[in-house]
Structure 1
Amino acid sequence: MDRIKHWLYDYLIELGTTEAAAKYLNMLLLLVALFILIFIVDFIARKLLIGVFSQFASKSKTNFDDLLVANKAPRNIAHIVPLLIALEFVPIVLADFGYYENIAEKGLKVFGVILMLWIARSLLNTVKDYLKTLKQFKDKPIASYIQVFMIFAWVVGIFSCLAIITETNFIKFITGLGAASAVIILVFKDTILGFVASIQVSINDMVRIGDWITFEKYGADGDVTEITLATVKVQNFDKTITTIPTYALISDSFKNWRGMTTSDGRRIKRALYIKQDGVKYLSEKDVEELKDIQLISSYLESRQSDINAFNTERNINKELLINGRNLTNLGVFRKYIDSYLKQHSAINKDMMIMARQLAPTTQGIPLEIYAFSSDKRWENYEYIMSDIFDHLIAALPYFGLEVFELPSNSVFKANHA
């Protein structure tokens, strides 16, 4: 080794060069030679390692090794060989320059720590990408756990670098930071909250990637595309992106539509507001006319027979319709809605079907339709619901009913003409 250290130095001294100049020239030439050696070794190591991994990946059935190559894991691992060569030969090259040798060794060790972090990141990103290809992990917040580990690794790495630079034992260095723990907790408050939230979200299965959520506080209404340690990304239906703090998922209220998407139907819950002055009892003539409506003809036959039997048995005076039992146009229309929904091809017959009357309001009597469409896709769901209400609104006049609506300007103008 001594011959390598001073092989040019001795030659320069023989040529009459000063001792100081000989030392510097000897060091510079050895440094250039070391750089060239490191470059060649790094190039060869990268080519060999990447080539081996690529060949293995092409023959392997799993895509894990392909993801290793894509995340540059072989490239980062290949840097270990030139780093070890540098650590071995730097003390030789800088043998006569102790101060610079110390700085160079510290720099190489710091680079070694960073290189280990790069390798760890490549491997963890590979694991994350691979797990996302598996069905059972596709909707899990894997990125959150990867980020937690990488944050921890970077903190340890930074402390290791500082311990190397200050030439302090790592354990003693960490112990000395105890006094600064409060500051560290304050700095990483959001990270800690995000980590806790990620665990709770995952354990309680509150949100998965691909879920449709509505979060009014943050203006989010769309599909979850990414769950990380700090944020949840939601692509809204207008294609904008809303970013929500992960901690907000456990501290605030939001709506997850997964229950609907995994069920057998999507709920239709909408009301028609009927004008109250149109509600009336039905005379015998009215009932006979409504029997022409096929969906309720058998119902009217049966119902009218029962009502007539009841009224006759009790000798009810039917000259006044209010006496005894009667059919109303609103009640018959409600039965018509029920029959119409039960025969509609897009309604799930195994789930609840109901037409109910709600408490009267200043806008009329709400007649609410409560049912479930078999098709849960948004576009088709809206089409089905529109189709149902188009029909019902058009059917109202046949029952002598009207939908309530506020008067328009033309009505006011006509009344004041």
Structure 2
Amino acid sequence: MDMQALISESQNLWQQLGQHPWLDTAISLGTLLLIAFIVGRLVHFLLLHSMRLLSRQAPLRWLDALLDSKVFNRLAQMAPSLIIQFGLVLVPGLGDKAEQFLRNLALAVTLLFLTLASSALLSALLVLYGRTSHARTRSIKGYIQLAKMVLYIFSSIVIIATLIDRSPLLLLSGLGAMSAVILLIYKDTLLSFVASVQLTSNDSLRVGDWIEMPQFGADGDVVDITLHTVKVQNFDKTIVSIPTWRLMAESFKNWRGMQQAGGRRIKRCLHLDASAVGFLTTEQEQRLRQVSLLSDYLERKQAELRQWNAAQGGHGELSANRRRLTNIGTFRAYAEAYLKAHPSIHPDMTCMVRQLEPGAQGIPLEVYCFTRTTDWLEYERIQADLFDYLLALLPEFDLNLFQQPSGHDLRQGLQDGSARATAHA
């Protein structure tokens, strides 16, 4: 009896549904949505679970990158919209317009997740490229960003065309008429892309290069090259972002050549006091002859001078007609010999000590050479050691370093002058 009552109630329910078609349509549509949701969760679980098991059993770098970039997550999210898109034909009482609208909406959602999956795939490719040795010198991040931008633009056009049920070509033709506005909006993007291509093709800039660009306050290592900006980490650990196109429009200094050459230049002057410059006496020559780095130079130079002076005949008695050794010239020769014998100075690169034009700061004696290392700390240590020694050696040649008078010097001079005046009085 109870069974008959249940069957009777079911028949009454179906009769009522037959009297209300919209209710039948709503229930069918809700059932389709529920099935799409369940299938979507099932596909998501099975796809991700199988990919994780595969990556554990056979470690694949590319599969790990796809999982981390959520490529399979985006692909699994396409399942519900696909179920709805192809299941709408089974919903009774659904009008043509409503069915077309829902199908277009489902197709738009499918395209959206397909776009997100493609973007995640590009991110995975960037991660895989970052693990290669080429990524240390050349960055493709700008190209990936440009590819994503183009992907989003065309996907947006296709999705909008799908929702309004129009051909994407109509929207593209409308965009063609707005090309001037589009070029104005994306001017920096286009300039940056062209600059990025030129920088990469000419090998003008790499990740890890030390560059200087004073107009932007940049003096450090390139840490990232993107489509729009180049990030430089200064030596004080600050980050400077430079528009990519500015690197082609303006000049910058790249120290990569120095690092590849294996030697870093030392170019610094010793400003000598001109009043201390003079000829060497016989006693000074005898004393300096005992210096091992000067013995060959003094012997060769004195032989040359004796030959010159002997050729002058009787006129050689006058001081102005005779050539003699000077303390500044001997010191210059010693400094050059000392640099060439120094173990930290590169023997295959330019090494010289030259005298520049005298001026208000004395006589500049420039040390020009290259160290064997490009390491900054080691370079500064070598340079400091060289000049510490040369500065301390100046009194051996009766030379003085030029220095502007300080307050202490003026005060000492006034005291000495006052003492002399008192003594004379």
| TM-score computed with the length of structure 1 as normaliser | 0.90
CA distance, structure 2, for counterparts of residue 348 and residue 191 of structure 1: 45
* Equivalent position amino acid for 1:388 in 2: L
2:164 equivalent to 1:163: no
Q: How does 1:345-364 map to 2 (within 5 A)?
A: 345-364=343-362
CA distance, structure 1, for counterparts of residue 49 and residue 344 of structure 2: 57
Q: Offset of 1:127 from its aligned partner?
A: 1.3
2:373 equivalent to 1:375: yes
Counterpart contact for 2:312–2:321, Cα < 8 Å = no
Structure 2: which 5+ runs fail to align? 1-8, 416-425
Structure 2 equivalent of residue 393 of structure 1: 391
* Equivalent position amino acid for 2:408 in 1: S
Structure 2 equivalent of residue 232 of structure 1: 230
Pick closer, same or farther for the CA change 1:372–1:338 going to 2, 3 Å.
same
Q: How does 1:74-113 map to 2 (within 5 A)?
A: 74-90=72-88, 92-93=90-91, 95-96=93-94, 101-113=99-111
Structure 2 equivalent of residue 213 of structure 1: 211
Structure 2 equivalent of residue 39 of structure 1: 37
Q: Offset of 1:362 from its aligned partner?
A: 1.2
Quick check: 35-44 or 66-75, which moved more?
Answer: 35-44
In the alignment of these two chains, the number of paired residues is 407
CA distance, structure 1, for counterparts of residue 179 and residue 239 of structure 2: 36
Structure 2 equivalent of residue 4 of structure 1: none
Counterpart contact for 1:295–1:336, Cα < 8 Å = yes
**Secondary structure at 2:369's aligned position in 1?**
strand
Structure 2 equivalent of residue 252 of structure 1: 250
Structure 2 equivalent of residue 3 of structure 1: none
Counterpart contact for 2:78–2:109, Cα < 8 Å = no
Pick closer, same or farther for the CA change 1:300–1:98 going to 2, 3 Å.
same
Cα deviations across residues 151-210 of structure 1 (Å, max 9, x unaligned)? 111111111122122221111221132211111111111111111111111111110111
CA distance, structure 2, for counterparts of residue 406 and residue 203 of structure 1: 52
Structure 1: which 5+ runs fail to align? 1-7
Structure 2 equivalent of residue 197 of structure 1: 195
Quick check: 73-82 or 319-328, which moved more?
Answer: 319-328
CA distance, structure 2, for counterparts of residue 94 and residue 116 of structure 1: 29
Pick aligned residue for 2:131 from 130, 133, 143: 133
CA distance, structure 2, for counterparts of residue 321 and residue 12 of structure 1: 135
Structure 2 equivalent of residue 23 of structure 1: 22
Cα deviations across residues 298-337 of structure 1 (Å, max 9, x unaligned)? 3212322332233234336676644311111111111111
CA distance, structure 2, for counterparts of residue 107 and residue 379 of structure 1: 63
Structure 2 equivalent of residue 340 of structure 1: 338
Indicate the RMSD between aligned Cα atoms, in angstroms. Answer: 2.4
Q: Offset of 1:39 from its aligned partner?
A: 3.0
CA distance, structure 1, for counterparts of residue 188 and residue 91 of structure 2: 47
Counterpart contact for 2:82–2:106, Cα < 8 Å = no
Pick closer, same or farther for the CA change 1:88–1:10 going to 2, 3 Å.
farther
Pick closer, same or farther for the CA change 1:316–1:56 going to 2, 3 Å.
farther
Structure 2 equivalent of residue 5 of structure 1: none
CA radius of gyration, larger in: 2
Pick closer, same or farther for the CA change 1:62–1:310 going to 2, 3 Å.
farther
Pick closer, same or farther for the CA change 1:34–1:413 going to 2, 3 Å.
farther
Counterpart contact for 1:83–1:112, Cα < 8 Å = yes
* Equivalent position amino acid for 1:168 in 2: R
Counting aligned pairs with the same residue, the percent is: 36
Q: How does 1:319-330 map to 2 (within 5 A)?
A: 321-330=319-328
Structure 2 equivalent of residue 297 of structure 1: 295
Counterpart contact for 1:131–1:138, Cα < 8 Å = no
Counterpart contact for 2:66–2:72, Cα < 8 Å = yes
Q: Offset of 1:400 from its aligned partner?
A: 1.2
Quick check: 150-159 or 166-175, which moved more?
Answer: 166-175
| TM-score computed with the length of structure 2 as normaliser | 0.89
CA distance, structure 1, for counterparts of residue 81 and residue 314 of structure 2: 106
**Secondary structure at 2:208's aligned position in 1?**
coil
Counterpart contact for 2:22–2:93, Cα < 8 Å = no
Quick check: 313-322 or 371-380, which moved more?
Answer: 313-322
Structure 2 equivalent of residue 365 of structure 1: 363
CA distance, structure 1, for counterparts of residue 287 and residue 303 of structure 2: 16
Counterpart contact for 1:94–1:101, Cα < 8 Å = no
Pick closer, same or farther for the CA change 1:317–1:167 going to 2, 3 Å.
same
Pick aligned residue for 1:242 from 240, 243, 248: 240
CA distance, structure 1, for counterparts of residue 278 and residue 57 of structure 2: 80
Counterpart contact for 2:209–2:222, Cα < 8 Å = yes
Pick closer, same or farther for the CA change 1:182–1:289 going to 2, 3 Å.
same
Counterpart contact for 1:268–1:373, Cα < 8 Å = yes
Counterpart contact for 1:141–1:198, Cα < 8 Å = no
Q: Offset of 1:27 from its aligned partner?
A: 4.6
Cα deviations across residues 29-83 of structure 1 (Å, max 9, x unaligned)? 4444334333332222222222332333345465122111111112112223222
Quick check: 268-277 or 403-412, which moved more?
Answer: 403-412
Counterpart contact for 1:209–1:227, Cα < 8 Å = yes
Pick aligned residue for 1:312 from 310, 313, 327: 310
Counterpart contact for 1:215–1:253, Cα < 8 Å = yes
Pick closer, same or farther for the CA change 1:170–1:395 going to 2, 3 Å.
same
Pick closer, same or farther for the CA change 1:95–1:200 going to 2, 3 Å.
farther
